[in-house]
Amino acid sequence: RKAKAISDEHGFVNVQILNRHFEIMTQNWICNVRHLKDIEYGVEIFAQTLFIALESRTVDVLSKYGADINVALFPYYNSDKLQYGHVEYYKLMLFRSKLIQEILASGINILLTEADATWLHNPLPFIANYSKLPGNFPNGDNNLATGVDMVLMDDKPYSRMVQGGFMLLKSTPAT
């Protein structure tokens, strides 16, 4: 419900999905982004962001940062042995993918971000105006709003590996 309300107002919702293993990093991100409000529209970052907590304790931790923090709980079993490359990590990534697909299927556009990125400027006004940006797409459609379903970052130059921490996903039949 919160995601739909944010998306209806802003055209998309900035989503961060986290569990207890990412709480400290997310708290740091919140403090960094809150600092941007004095520089450039940073107060809008929280109005457009939904933190999806996988544990109730994470809801409690994030809620302490103010009434402007939007948090929703989607319970998921979290192993204490969560390590990149292990089966528990891949189960979490599968759950996350299914959750993202469910949100997209509800007609909600998503900017999927992660707290390990430092924002020096607020990218949300840029993303909100993505329909005005020129594109150069194989289908000949030069409008970023209609020419693509996803806008992705390459994780490493020349690796052709998608960066999962900053993705714009439009709710279309293809996504």
Residue 149 clears pLDDT 80, i.e. is over it: no
Residue 79 tokens read as 């192993």
Predicted pLDDT of residue 115: 92
Alpha-carbon span 114 to 168, nearest angstrom: 12
Residues in a beta bridge with 73? 53
Residue 131 clears pLDDT 50, i.e. is over it: no
Predicted pLDDT of residue 153: 62
Sign of the CA dihedral running 99, 100, 102, 107: positive
Q: Looking at per-residue confidence, does 130 or 125 come out higher?
A: 125
Residue 28 identity (one-letter amino acid): N
- Average pLDDT across the chain, whole number: 80
| Cβ contact 59:73 at 8 Å | yes
Average pLDDT over residues 45-49: 90
